[in-house]
Chain A
Amino acid sequence: MADTATLPPVAQERAPLPAPEDRGRTTIADGVVSRVASIAASEIEAVVDTRKGWTKLVRKGLPHAEATVAGETSSITVEVAATWPTPLAPLVERVRAHVSERVDTLVGVTVSRVDVTVADVVHLDTPPRRVV
């Protein structure tokens, strides 16, 4: 430490790469993990995205995710609405794998468990219009 103390301040300031504590910190807000989880769930094909517009009122704003983050691991609860007719067990597996993978890669938080609830099953198809 004595060596660095004798350096002129200008030389330290113009160093090409300052020490990590001088470059600043990165903070990821608490809600981000659950946001990433809910967006990831909506990326699955058979999951209905009802998080905005008027569908939010009638479809409870699914998919909805909540995350408990402790340090570098998290446990996530996701509620999704599935389209009719989708086999639910494989869908739940896909949601679990995708949410876990996305949170892990994007946020850098290990996912220890994902609890998936299928809270609704939705008919998306409107009957074809009859043309006379």
Chain B
Amino acid sequence: MTTPADTPDAADPGSTVAERVAAATLGVPGVAGLHAGSFGEVATYLPGRRVTGVRLRDDDTEVHVVAVMGTRLRDLADAVRSAVSPLVDTPVRVVVEDVVPDGTAPS
């Protein structure tokens, strides 16, 4: 699913669009990780490696996340979208795939 747009940045050849999207997503508070989807099919395939949970297409970008229990999922999705939107030109579709318990859960 590597698109022609997903080429290494001239300024930082080690990082592609998919990897920058993944890093931005993981930086959002309340995101426990990226999720490969029910069948493990959501990923961007790069030479020699893959970025799980990020799918770049011509007309949209999909980010599949695992949330930490205690976050409001709609707000989390909006936060992920605002973190990812500056990196891509397409609409960002956020899919909350799973929720994991927080280690420091209240009550």
Binding site for B on A (CB under 8 A): 13, 21-29, 31-32, 35-36, 39, 42-45, 98, 105-108
Contacts and interface: CB of A to CB of B under 8 A. Distances in A.
B91 A105 contact: no
Contacts of B85: 23-24
Given A29-B96, A32-B96, A108 B72 contact: yes
A98 B97 CA distance: 22
B55 interface: no
Interface string B83-106: 001000111111111110100011
A45 B71 CA distance: 21
Q: Is the interface of A mostly helix, strand, loop or mixed?
A: helix
B70 interface: yes
A119 to B, nearest CB: 20
Contact of B81 (A13, A21, A24, A35): A24
Interface residues of B, number: 29
A106 B94 contact: no
Given A36-B99, A42-B101, A43-B107, A107 B73 contact: yes
Given A35-B98, A36-B99, A43-B105, A24 B73 contact: no
B97 A29 contact: yes
Contacts of B96: 26-29, 32
